[in-house]
Amino acid sequence: MKKVLIAGATGYLGTYLVQEAKQRGYWVRALVRTSSRFDDIKDSVDDLFVAEATRPETLQGVCDGIEVIVSALGVAGPRPGDTTPVADVDYGGNHNILGEALKASVKKFIYVAFINFPAFQHLDITHIKEKFISELQGSGLEYCVMRPTAYFSDMGNFIEMAKKGTAYLIGHGRYRVNPIHGADLAKVCIDMIDSDEQEVLVGGPREYTYEEAARLAFSVVGKDPKIKKIPAWPFALALKVLRPFISKRKFTLVQFMLAAFQNDAVTPKYGSHTLEDYFKELSEQ
Ligand SMILES: NC(=O)c1ccc[n+]([C@@H]2O[C@H](COP(=O)([O-])OP(=O)(O)OC[C@H]3O[C@@H](n4cnc5c(N)ncnc54)[C@H](OP(=O)(O)O)[C@@H]3O)[C@@H](O)[C@H]2O)c1
Protein backbone atom coordinates (compact mmCIF):
# COMPACT_ATOMS: atom_id res chain seq x y z
CA MET A 1 0.00 0.00 0.00
CA LYS A 2 1.59 3.27 -1.12
CA LYS A 3 2.14 5.96 1.51
CA VAL A 4 0.80 9.34 0.42
CA LEU A 5 1.44 12.80 1.88
CA ILE A 6 -1.37 15.35 1.33
CA ALA A 7 -0.24 19.00 1.68
CA GLY A 8 -2.89 21.70 2.07
CA ALA A 9 -5.00 18.88 3.55
CA THR A 10 -7.37 21.19 5.45
CA GLY A 11 -8.44 23.26 2.42
CA TYR A 12 -11.51 22.90 0.18
CA LEU A 13 -9.70 20.52 -2.21
CA GLY A 14 -7.34 19.04 0.41
CA THR A 15 -10.18 17.65 2.51
CA TYR A 16 -11.53 15.75 -0.50
CA LEU A 17 -8.02 14.55 -1.42
CA VAL A 18 -7.64 13.00 2.04
CA GLN A 19 -11.03 11.26 1.78
CA GLU A 20 -10.40 9.98 -1.77
CA ALA A 21 -6.89 8.69 -0.97
CA LYS A 22 -8.22 6.81 2.06
CA GLN A 23 -11.14 5.39 0.08
CA ARG A 24 -8.60 4.07 -2.47
CA GLY A 25 -6.75 2.26 0.34
CA TYR A 26 -3.63 4.46 0.55
CA TRP A 27 -1.86 5.14 3.85
CA VAL A 28 -2.31 8.89 4.32
CA ARG A 29 -0.24 11.51 6.16
CA ALA A 30 -1.78 14.99 6.26
CA LEU A 31 0.41 18.09 6.57
CA VAL A 32 -1.43 20.74 8.57
CA ARG A 33 -0.32 23.91 10.32
CA THR A 34 -0.87 24.71 13.98
CA SER A 35 -3.65 27.17 13.19
CA SER A 36 -5.40 24.77 10.80
CA ARG A 37 -8.86 23.49 11.61
CA PHE A 38 -8.19 19.75 11.12
CA ASP A 39 -11.08 18.18 13.06
CA ASP A 40 -12.76 17.19 9.76
CA ILE A 41 -9.81 15.10 8.65
CA LYS A 42 -8.04 13.90 11.79
CA ASP A 43 -10.06 10.67 12.04
CA SER A 44 -9.65 9.81 8.38
CA VAL A 45 -5.85 10.05 8.21
CA ASP A 46 -3.18 7.59 9.36
CA ASP A 47 -0.83 10.35 10.47
CA LEU A 48 -1.12 14.08 11.13
CA PHE A 49 2.10 16.11 10.68
CA VAL A 50 1.77 19.57 12.25
CA ALA A 51 4.22 22.08 10.76
CA GLU A 52 4.50 25.45 9.00
CA ALA A 53 5.12 24.76 5.30
CA THR A 54 6.60 28.25 5.00
CA ARG A 55 9.23 27.41 7.67
CA PRO A 56 11.50 24.61 6.33
CA GLU A 57 13.02 23.85 9.74
CA THR A 58 9.58 22.66 10.96
CA LEU A 59 9.18 20.18 8.07
CA GLN A 60 12.03 17.79 8.86
CA GLY A 61 10.81 14.21 8.53
CA VAL A 62 7.50 15.10 6.86
CA CYS A 63 8.39 12.85 3.90
CA ASP A 64 9.80 9.91 5.89
CA GLY A 65 8.44 6.69 4.34
CA ILE A 66 6.34 8.64 1.83
CA GLU A 67 6.23 7.53 -1.87
CA VAL A 68 3.81 10.08 -3.33
CA ILE A 69 3.03 13.71 -2.45
CA VAL A 70 -0.19 15.41 -3.53
CA SER A 71 -0.05 19.16 -2.86
CA ALA A 72 -3.08 21.44 -2.76
CA LEU A 73 -1.05 23.88 -0.68
CA GLY A 74 -1.64 27.44 -1.76
CA VAL A 75 -3.58 30.64 -1.30
CA ALA A 76 -6.95 30.44 -3.03
CA GLY A 77 -8.54 33.53 -1.59
CA PRO A 78 -8.52 36.19 1.16
CA ARG A 79 -8.15 34.71 4.70
CA PRO A 80 -8.94 37.10 7.56
CA GLY A 81 -5.74 37.89 9.43
CA ASP A 82 -3.45 35.92 7.07
CA THR A 83 -1.13 38.42 5.33
CA THR A 84 1.46 35.88 4.15
CA PRO A 85 2.44 36.78 0.57
CA VAL A 86 1.14 34.24 -1.97
CA ALA A 87 4.71 33.57 -3.17
CA ASP A 88 5.76 32.44 0.34
CA VAL A 89 3.04 29.77 0.33
CA ASP A 90 2.50 28.68 -3.28
CA TYR A 91 6.21 28.80 -4.18
CA GLY A 92 8.00 28.82 -0.79
CA GLY A 93 5.81 26.20 0.91
CA ASN A 94 5.90 23.74 -2.00
CA HIS A 95 9.62 24.38 -2.53
CA ASN A 96 10.25 23.45 1.13
CA ILE A 97 8.20 20.25 0.81
CA LEU A 98 10.07 19.34 -2.40
CA GLY A 99 13.32 19.83 -0.49
CA GLU A 100 12.20 17.27 2.10
CA ALA A 101 11.00 14.93 -0.67
CA LEU A 102 14.46 14.94 -2.27
CA LYS A 103 16.05 14.06 1.11
CA ALA A 104 13.62 11.13 1.56
CA SER A 105 12.60 8.36 -0.87
CA VAL A 106 9.64 10.11 -2.48
CA LYS A 107 9.04 8.94 -6.06
CA LYS A 108 6.28 11.26 -7.27
CA PHE A 109 4.99 14.80 -6.66
CA ILE A 110 1.49 15.72 -7.87
CA TYR A 111 1.08 19.51 -7.72
CA VAL A 112 -2.27 21.30 -8.01
CA ALA A 113 -1.58 24.50 -9.94
CA PHE A 114 -3.98 26.43 -12.19
CA ILE A 115 -4.82 26.67 -15.90
CA ASN A 116 -2.02 28.50 -17.77
CA PHE A 117 -3.96 29.95 -20.69
CA PRO A 118 -2.24 32.89 -22.53
CA ALA A 119 -4.68 35.38 -20.96
CA PHE A 120 -3.34 34.49 -17.50
CA GLN A 121 0.39 34.51 -18.31
CA HIS A 122 1.01 38.07 -17.05
CA LEU A 123 -0.45 37.43 -13.60
CA ASP A 124 1.69 37.34 -10.45
CA ILE A 125 -0.01 34.11 -9.34
CA THR A 126 0.92 32.43 -12.65
CA HIS A 127 4.58 33.46 -12.31
CA ILE A 128 4.61 32.14 -8.72
CA LYS A 129 3.10 28.74 -9.58
CA GLU A 130 5.11 28.30 -12.82
CA LYS A 131 8.34 29.01 -10.89
CA PHE A 132 7.58 26.01 -8.63
CA ILE A 133 6.52 23.90 -11.62
CA SER A 134 9.86 24.50 -13.39
CA GLU A 135 11.67 23.48 -10.21
CA LEU A 136 9.55 20.33 -9.90
CA GLN A 137 10.10 19.43 -13.57
CA GLY A 138 13.87 19.73 -13.01
CA SER A 139 13.87 17.83 -9.69
CA GLY A 140 14.31 14.32 -11.09
CA LEU A 141 11.12 13.15 -9.36
CA GLU A 142 8.17 11.78 -11.33
CA TYR A 143 5.54 14.51 -11.37
CA CYS A 144 2.10 15.52 -12.54
CA VAL A 145 0.88 19.12 -12.75
CA MET A 146 -2.88 19.46 -12.28
CA ARG A 147 -4.36 22.48 -14.08
CA PRO A 148 -7.88 22.92 -12.75
CA THR A 149 -10.25 25.72 -13.67
CA ALA A 150 -12.49 27.31 -11.00
CA TYR A 151 -13.77 25.24 -8.04
CA PHE A 152 -17.38 25.16 -6.91
CA SER A 153 -16.12 26.77 -3.69
CA ASP A 154 -15.27 29.89 -5.69
CA MET A 155 -18.75 30.03 -7.24
CA GLY A 156 -20.35 30.03 -3.78
CA ASN A 157 -20.26 33.84 -3.74
CA PHE A 158 -23.13 33.84 -6.23
CA ILE A 159 -25.44 32.22 -3.66
CA GLU A 160 -24.44 34.80 -1.02
CA MET A 161 -25.22 37.63 -3.46
CA ALA A 162 -28.49 36.04 -4.64
CA LYS A 163 -29.65 35.66 -1.04
CA LYS A 164 -28.97 39.39 -0.54
CA GLY A 165 -30.98 40.17 -3.69
CA THR A 166 -28.35 41.56 -6.12
CA ALA A 167 -25.48 39.81 -7.93
CA TYR A 168 -22.56 41.95 -9.08
CA LEU A 169 -20.56 40.86 -12.12
CA ILE A 170 -17.27 42.39 -13.20
CA GLY A 171 -17.44 42.94 -16.98
CA HIS A 172 -20.19 41.73 -19.32
CA GLY A 173 -20.55 38.32 -17.68
CA ARG A 174 -20.42 36.35 -20.96
CA TYR A 175 -17.06 34.66 -20.35
CA ARG A 176 -17.36 30.91 -19.86
CA VAL A 177 -16.16 28.52 -17.15
CA ASN A 178 -16.77 24.85 -16.25
CA PRO A 179 -16.26 24.84 -12.48
CA ILE A 180 -15.49 21.57 -10.69
CA HIS A 181 -16.54 20.08 -7.35
CA GLY A 182 -13.64 19.25 -4.98
CA ALA A 183 -14.65 15.57 -4.79
CA ASP A 184 -14.55 15.21 -8.60
CA LEU A 185 -11.18 16.96 -8.83
CA ALA A 186 -9.77 14.84 -5.99
CA LYS A 187 -10.67 11.69 -7.96
CA VAL A 188 -8.69 12.91 -10.98
CA CYS A 189 -5.74 13.93 -8.79
CA ILE A 190 -5.56 10.53 -7.04
CA ASP A 191 -5.93 8.76 -10.43
CA MET A 192 -2.59 10.39 -11.34
CA ILE A 193 -0.72 8.44 -8.63
CA ASP A 194 -0.45 5.47 -11.00
CA SER A 195 -0.62 7.39 -14.31
CA ASP A 196 2.21 8.55 -16.61
CA GLU A 197 0.43 11.79 -17.47
CA GLN A 198 2.55 14.84 -16.54
CA GLU A 199 -0.05 17.56 -17.04
CA VAL A 200 -3.84 17.48 -16.73
CA LEU A 201 -6.23 20.29 -17.66
CA VAL A 202 -9.36 19.61 -15.62
CA GLY A 203 -12.76 21.12 -15.00
CA GLY A 204 -16.35 20.18 -14.26
CA PRO A 205 -19.02 18.54 -16.45
CA ARG A 206 -20.88 21.69 -17.50
CA GLU A 207 -20.00 25.16 -18.84
CA TYR A 208 -21.61 28.37 -17.67
CA THR A 209 -21.18 32.03 -18.46
CA TYR A 210 -20.71 33.97 -15.22
CA GLU A 211 -24.15 35.51 -15.87
CA GLU A 212 -25.72 32.04 -16.26
CA ALA A 213 -24.10 30.99 -12.95
CA ALA A 214 -25.57 34.09 -11.27
CA ARG A 215 -29.02 33.37 -12.76
CA LEU A 216 -28.78 29.75 -11.56
CA ALA A 217 -28.08 31.03 -8.04
CA PHE A 218 -31.20 33.23 -8.11
CA SER A 219 -33.35 30.32 -9.35
CA VAL A 220 -32.00 28.11 -6.52
CA VAL A 221 -32.84 30.70 -3.82
CA GLY A 222 -36.22 31.28 -5.52
CA LYS A 223 -35.71 34.97 -6.32
CA ASP A 224 -36.05 37.00 -9.53
CA PRO A 225 -32.56 37.66 -10.92
CA LYS A 226 -31.16 41.13 -10.26
CA ILE A 227 -27.71 41.38 -11.86
CA LYS A 228 -25.52 44.48 -11.89
CA LYS A 229 -22.59 44.50 -14.36
CA ILE A 230 -19.68 46.70 -13.37
CA PRO A 231 -17.04 47.63 -15.95
CA ALA A 232 -13.65 46.13 -15.11
CA TRP A 233 -11.48 49.17 -16.01
CA PRO A 234 -12.16 51.12 -12.77
CA PHE A 235 -10.93 48.11 -10.77
CA ALA A 236 -7.86 47.72 -12.97
CA LEU A 237 -7.11 51.44 -12.62
CA ALA A 238 -7.65 51.38 -8.85
CA LEU A 239 -5.39 48.34 -8.56
CA LYS A 240 -2.63 50.16 -10.45
CA VAL A 241 -2.96 53.33 -8.33
CA LEU A 242 -3.32 51.53 -5.01
CA ARG A 243 -0.56 48.99 -5.65
CA PRO A 244 2.05 50.77 -3.49
CA PHE A 245 -0.44 50.99 -0.60
CA ILE A 246 -1.91 47.46 -0.54
CA SER A 247 -0.28 44.17 0.55
CA LYS A 248 1.46 41.98 -2.05
CA ARG A 249 -1.03 39.23 -1.12
CA LYS A 250 -4.06 41.43 -1.79
CA PHE A 251 -2.59 42.69 -5.09
CA THR A 252 -1.92 39.12 -6.33
CA LEU A 253 -5.42 37.92 -5.40
CA VAL A 254 -7.34 40.94 -6.77
CA GLN A 255 -5.26 40.91 -9.99
CA PHE A 256 -6.16 37.22 -10.41
CA MET A 257 -9.86 37.74 -9.67
CA LEU A 258 -10.13 40.55 -12.23
CA ALA A 259 -8.52 38.35 -14.90
CA ALA A 260 -10.71 35.38 -14.02
CA PHE A 261 -13.95 37.30 -14.64
CA GLN A 262 -12.66 38.68 -17.94
CA ASN A 263 -11.51 35.51 -19.69
CA ASP A 264 -12.84 32.11 -20.66
CA ALA A 265 -11.60 29.33 -18.37
CA VAL A 266 -13.00 26.19 -20.03
CA THR A 267 -11.14 22.86 -19.84
CA PRO A 268 -11.83 19.19 -20.69
CA LYS A 269 -14.77 17.95 -18.62
CA TYR A 270 -14.69 15.54 -15.71
CA GLY A 271 -16.96 14.49 -12.86
CA SER A 272 -20.66 14.36 -12.15
CA HIS A 273 -21.41 16.86 -9.35
CA THR A 274 -23.60 19.70 -10.55
CA LEU A 275 -23.30 23.37 -9.65
CA GLU A 276 -27.06 23.43 -9.08
CA ASP A 277 -26.85 20.76 -6.35
CA TYR A 278 -23.91 22.61 -4.77
CA PHE A 279 -25.88 25.86 -4.80
CA LYS A 280 -28.87 24.05 -3.22
CA GLU A 281 -26.65 22.71 -0.41
CA LEU A 282 -25.25 26.21 0.20
CA SER A 283 -28.67 27.88 0.07
CA GLU A 284 -29.92 25.54 2.81
CA GLN A 285 -27.01 26.45 5.13
N1 LIG B 1 -10.19 27.82 -5.63
C2 LIG B 1 -10.13 27.71 -6.93
O3 LIG B 1 -11.07 27.97 -7.69
C4 LIG B 1 -8.85 27.19 -7.53
C5 LIG B 1 -8.81 26.99 -8.90
C6 LIG B 1 -7.64 26.47 -9.42
C7 LIG B 1 -6.53 26.20 -8.61
N8 LIG B 1 -6.63 26.44 -7.28
C9 LIG B 1 -5.46 26.10 -6.45
O10 LIG B 1 -5.76 24.91 -5.72
C11 LIG B 1 -5.08 24.95 -4.45
C12 LIG B 1 -6.08 24.59 -3.34
O13 LIG B 1 -7.17 25.50 -3.41
P14 LIG B 1 -8.35 25.46 -2.29
O15 LIG B 1 -9.49 26.18 -2.86
O16 LIG B 1 -8.52 24.08 -1.76
O17 LIG B 1 -7.64 26.39 -1.17
P18 LIG B 1 -7.99 26.59 0.37
O19 LIG B 1 -9.33 26.02 0.69
O20 LIG B 1 -7.71 28.02 0.64
O21 LIG B 1 -6.88 25.65 1.10
C22 LIG B 1 -5.53 25.97 1.01
C23 LIG B 1 -4.70 25.04 1.87
O24 LIG B 1 -3.38 25.60 1.98
C25 LIG B 1 -3.08 25.85 3.35
N26 LIG B 1 -2.40 27.13 3.54
C27 LIG B 1 -2.79 28.35 3.10
N28 LIG B 1 -1.91 29.29 3.51
C29 LIG B 1 -0.95 28.64 4.25
C30 LIG B 1 0.22 29.04 4.94
N31 LIG B 1 0.56 30.34 5.01
N32 LIG B 1 0.95 28.10 5.57
C33 LIG B 1 0.57 26.80 5.55
N34 LIG B 1 -0.54 26.32 4.90
C35 LIG B 1 -1.28 27.24 4.26
C36 LIG B 1 -4.43 25.95 4.06
O37 LIG B 1 -4.24 25.65 5.43
P38 LIG B 1 -5.27 26.27 6.53
O39 LIG B 1 -6.49 25.42 6.45
O40 LIG B 1 -4.50 26.12 7.79
O41 LIG B 1 -5.50 27.69 6.14
C42 LIG B 1 -5.22 24.87 3.30
O43 LIG B 1 -4.91 23.60 3.81
C44 LIG B 1 -4.48 26.36 -4.32
O45 LIG B 1 -3.11 26.33 -4.62
C46 LIG B 1 -5.20 27.15 -5.39
O47 LIG B 1 -4.42 28.19 -5.91
C48 LIG B 1 -7.74 26.92 -6.71
Ligand 1, residues 33, 41, 253: which to mutate, most atoms within 8 A of Cβ?
33
**pLDDT score of 162:** 97
* C-alpha 51 to ligand 1 mean position (Å): 15
Residue 86 CB–ligand 1 contact under 6 Å: no
Binding site membership of 208 for ligand 1 (Cβ less than 6 Å): no
- pLDDT at position 42: 85
Residue of 112, 146, 278 to test ligand 1 pocket, by largest number of atoms within 8 Å of CB: 112
Question: pTM here?
Answer: 0.96
In the prediction, which pLDDT does 123 show?
96
53 CA: nearest ligand 1 atom: 33
Q: Which domains does the chain possess?
A: 3-151+180-205+265-273 (3.40.50.720)
Annotate 244-272 with DSSP letters as a single string.
GGS-HHHHHHHHHHHHHHTS-B---B---
For residue 78, the model assigns a pLDDT of 77
Task: Write down the pLDDT at residue 219.
Answer: 98
Sign of CA dihedral 14, 20, 26, 28: positive
pLDDT of 215-242, one tens digit each? 999 999 999 999 999 999 999 999 999 9
pLDDT of 34: 76
- Of the candidates 24, 15, 54, 198, the one whose C-alpha atom is nearest the C-alpha of residue 3 is 24
Rounded to the nearest angstrom, the distance between the alpha carbon of 223 and the centre of ligand 1 is 32
Contact 251, 258 (CB under 8 A): no
CB of 111 sitting under 6 A from ligand 1: no
Along the 285 residues of the chain, how does pLDDT read in single tens digits?
A: 899 999 999 999 999 999 999 999 999 999 999 777 788 888 889 999 999 999 999 999 999 999 999 999 999 887 777 889 999 999 999 999 999 999 999 999 999 999 999 999 999 999 999 999 999 999 999 999 999 999 999 999 999 999 999 999 999 999 999 999 999 999 999 999 999 999 999 999 999 999 999 999 999 999 999 999 999 999 999 999 999 999 999 999 999 999 999 999 999 999 999 999 999 999 998
* Residue 143 Cα to chain centre, angstroms: 18
Residue type, 77: G
Report whether 17 contacts 186 (CB < 8 A).
Answer: yes
C-alpha 280/C-alpha 156 separation (Å) is: 10
User: 12 CB under 6 A from ligand 1?
Assistant: yes
Ligand 1 center to residue 31 CA distance, Å?
12
Strands (E), the chain: 3-7, 27-32, 47-50, 68-71, 108-112, 142-148, 167-170, 176-177, 199-202, 208-209, 227-230
Closest by Cα among 169, 185, 42, 56 to 112 = 185
Longest dimension (CA), the chain: 58
Q: Whose CA is nearest to atom 44 of ligand 1?
A: 74
